[in-house]
A and B are shown apart, each in its own frame.
Chain A
Amino acid sequence: MYDTAKTESALEQTETKISARNVQVYYGDTHAIKDVNVEIEDKTVTAFIGPSGCGKSTFLRCLNRMNDTIDICRVTGDILLDGEDIYDPKVDPVQLRAKVGMVFQKPNPFPKSIYDNIAYGPRIHGLARGKAELDEIVEKSLRRGAIWDEVKDRLDAPGTGLSGGQQQRLCIARAIATEPEVLLMDEPCSALDPIATAQVEELIDELRQSYSVVIVTHSMQQAARVSQKTAFFHLGNLVEYGETGQIFTNPEDPRTESYITGRIG
């Protein structure tokens, strides 16, 4: 598998953003992620698919060290972001999370105004000098989150008052506001209706211009629609990783084929 990924990226000639080598994750005694090797490319949408409990979300949360917040979780192996090990003691996980933004399964806007939601990250990281600059960041982020037109007249209204799809786009805009390099999305559409899902997917496709996007999804159609690369996880193993088209039309591993055709999962 490691070899596959390597040849693939060599072929593509694109820049590697994140590379994981021999990553193991343990929850207490449970071995949740087994020996995963993967190269995630810049300015690409990478989808993680697999049945429930296969470890794709766990692996995603390793990429910005969100697993650090779980006491019993232990991660070994190397995860390099732009060639630097993010689990190195020198690395500040707080800074890392500003660089590797995350969008969660359930829209989770803060119970604050729309403006304050977006301004949260820039404020704690001191990205804006003065009110005017902050206003600018908020507007820019909301525009890139494709929600500016819907909320520009009510920036003072609470973010929790928006519809589910709007809330999720608000959360994406909030993550963008800290100017991350990578955007991790953990099943961002699972709580949304088909129309909101379509809007978010469109947004993901636009975000690819500027960021490396990693998306965990349960929907294989979604993976096929939005991603260029797909990784299939099963029982904590990375079974297959490659071009999305390749994975869905001509998988190498019989387990991938079974999952895609609906026989396991």
Chain B
Amino acid sequence: MTALPFLLLILATLAGYLLNRMAAGSIRANGARLHSMISYHGMFAALLVLVPVLTIILLWLAFEGPIIDRVVMSGLPDGLLDGQGDGALQLVLAEIKSISRGQIFGTPEDWKIAAADSYSALRTQSDWWMVAVVAGVSLAIIGFARSRVTAEFRARQGVERIVSGLMIFCSTVAVFTTIGIIVSLSYETVRFLDRVPLSEFLFGTNWEPQIPLREDQIAAEGAFGWLPVILGTMVITVVALFVAIPVGLLSAIYLNEFAPRKLRAVIKPVLEILAGVPTVVYGFFAVLVVAPAIRDLGQSIGIDVAPNTALAAGGVMGIMLVPFISSFADDALSAVPSSLRDAALGLGSTRAEMMTTVLFPAAIPGIVGGVLLAVSRAIGETMIVVMAAGLIAKMTINPLDSVTTVTVQIVTLLIGDTSFDNPKTLAAFALGMMLFLVTLMINVFALRIVRKYREAYD
């Protein structure tokens, strides 16, 4: 049933296109000079139909459900549902919907069957209304578009206006999504802070969120200090960057400036394969290869090493980040004009001097962009940490100890039993909010630094 409006939309778009194209074609055949080519006339009509009608269909589909639900619920006999909670009302509505689909369990009351009938009647009506509206609006727009076809009509500019409108819309999608994420996160965070005081969350050094959801569960007392968790994230991120930045930058510099062409042709694709390895696979590698190796090494020199270590997880994560940094840095270095290379070499600098004194400072913005991306990835990375670094929050900066990270805690809080009026579940959103703020701060800070120290070439 929902396919019909879409079919109509396609037909109307095609019809608008062909009609205007033909109309413009006949004007041209009569010897007039058209301002725009006939395909522009067709395109103009097609876009004029497509955009508003598609909007109508999508809005209709979005609001149809909630409106019908309200109508059905308000049509129920008076007094039946008085004093029932929100959950009970949802349950009744769900039952009515399943009856209307023919899934009947037991013998429902008569008023439920009546409501189900009216529900399906309303749905059918709504669908037919939608078809009618789509057809009507399409016809009207086709008529309007057809009436605009004249020799002087600037369909070319008309198409451009519609397309630029679409582009403006698309470019704001990301902005509105971000706003939506912030709003929903803040809402749940505020609910969490109703139950746990802000000072405990921000400054508490204990993280034991596995408190009981129901009264008969046996679980922890509950402590919601985020410091050990963010500390774990920082330890792992720093370890990862200690591996990724030197390896990534030096490999980029080597590939960009020193490597023979043939070697570069081999190494670059291999580095890009590294970027395509799923993080779970890196996790295996960390658990099965790196962690035991670190442990053996530690034992052989008499250091006590935990089986799950931040070093193993962070080190492997660093390898994962190498391709990000190296490919960003490589692009940034390649973008430096070759005239600057010539200038430096012509003054008698070696390639290494040219790199450190000229190319690198000029490429800094791009390189920092890559590093920032790597930092964000490291902070947000979950899988390697779950597998290799452990789940227990510890207030430590020792990379040989097991730590946990913000993202890992969010995952463990949201799997299994959840309940959205319990601080255990809500804590995940508060952590998410903090993570968002931290990454935002890092980005703003780094961009300011770059703007201050960059050497702009033009």
Contacts and interface: CB of A to CB of B under 8 A. Distances in A.
- The residue among B346, B350, B353, B455 with the most chain A CB atoms within 10 A of its own CB is B346
B26 interface: no
B346 A102 contact: yes
Given A104-B342, A111-B362, A124-B353, A178 B347 contact: yes
Given A108-B339, A110-B340, A120-B357, A97 B346 contact: yes
Interface string A78-103: 00000000000000001111110110
Given A71-B261, A94-B350, A112 B345 contact: no
B343 A110 contact: yes
B2 interface: no
B345 A69 contact: yes
B343 A104 contact: yes
B20 to A, nearest CB: 50
A158 B361 CA distance: 14
Interface in B426-458: 455-458
Contacts of B362: 111
B342 A95 contact: no
A169 to B, nearest CB: 14
A175 B346 contact: yes
Contacts of B456: 111, 158, 160
Interface in A27-67: 64, 66
Given A111-B456, A124-B353, A97 B345 contact: yes
B366 to A, nearest CB: 14
A108 B349 contact: no
A95 B342 CA distance: 15
A221 B264 CA distance: 46
A121 B347 contact: yes
Contacts of A64: 346
A21 interface: no
A111 B455 contact: yes
A95 B353 CA distance: 13
A108 B343 contact: yes
Given A106-B339, A160-B456, A178 B348 contact: yes
Contacts of A110: 340, 343-344, 358, 455
Contact of B347 (A69, A111, A160, A174): A174
B143 interface: no
B347 A66 contact: no
Given A111-B455, A112-B455, A160-B456, A97 B339 contact: no
Interface in B351-385: 353, 357-358, 361-362
B337 interface: yes
A247 interface: no
B343 A98 contact: no
A213 interface: no
A171 B342 contact: no
A225 interface: no
Given A71-B261, A124-B353, A160-B458, A111 B346 contact: no
A160 to B, nearest CB: 6
Contact of A108 (B337, B353, B357): B337
Nearest to B347: A121
Interface string A10-34: 0000000000000000000000000
B347 A124 contact: yes
A125 interface: yes
B202 to A, nearest CB: 43
- The residue among B337, B339, B458 with the most chain A CB atoms within 10 A of its own CB is B339
Contact of A66 (B346, B349, B350, B458): B346
Interface of B: 261, 337, 339-350, 353, 357-358, 361-362, 455-458
Interface of A: 64, 66, 69, 71, 94-99, 101-102, 104, 106, 108-112, 120-121, 124-125, 158, 160, 171, 174-175, 178
- Across the A-B interface, the 8 shortest Cβ-Cβ residue pairs: A98-B348, A111-B455, A108-B339, A102-B346, A97-B348, A111-B457, A108-B343, A121-B347
Given A99-B348, A175-B346, 13 more contacts: A66-B342, A66-B345, A69-B345, A94-B349, A108-B340, A110-B455, A111-B361, A111-B362, A121-B347, A124-B348, A124-B357, A158-B456, A160-B458
